[in-house]
Amino acid sequence: MILLLTKDTMEKFVERTGLTSFEEMKSFKEEQTVKYNEIHDQMTDNRERISYLTRLLDTYKEYEPYKKVNDEYWKLKGFPQSIYKNQHMFDLAYYKEYRLQLKRMIREKNKDIVPK
């Protein structure tokens, strides 16, 4: 936003924009207000999206250790899998809870951010 505090600044502004009447100034102000509102809305949307993605990332960081335990569990077969399940019973249960929490947080259909 241009601050028109001095006479020189005001004159330069009027010369640069080519305004010659108060009606033109009013029209110019209305156009700028519309542009400002569009940019403001876009920035608000961007802030909300950043906040949303940050919350997703934070939740994923909490989920990730349990995901590793679950992945390791499914790599094993037979008796070793049973032993691993008994050793990591709580981690496997937490995996399901964190995964469900993460899935509930996702509001969009972007498959890149949906946990598997």
Q: For residue range 48-100, what is the model confidence (pLDDT) as tens digits?
A: 989 999 999 999 999 999 999 999 999 999 999 999 999 999 999 999 999 99
Residue 78 gets the label, from left (phi > 0), alpha (psi -120 to 50) or beta, of left
Q: What pLDDT shows up at residue 15?
A: 86
Average pLDDT of the chain, as a whole number: 88
CA dihedral 15, 27, 32, 44 (to 10 degrees): 170
What confidence category does residue 10 fall into, taking pLDDT thresholds of 50, 70 and 90? confident
User: Which tokens sit at 86?
Assistant: 């008994």
Q: What pLDDT shows up at residue 7?
A: 84
Question: Which residues make Cβ contacts (< 8 Å) with residue 63, sequence separation at least 6?
Answer: 95, 98, 99, 101, 102, 115
Contact 59, 52 (CB under 8 A): no
pLDDT tens by residue, 68-78: 999 999 999 99
pTM above threshold 0.75: no
pLDDT at 114 over 60: no
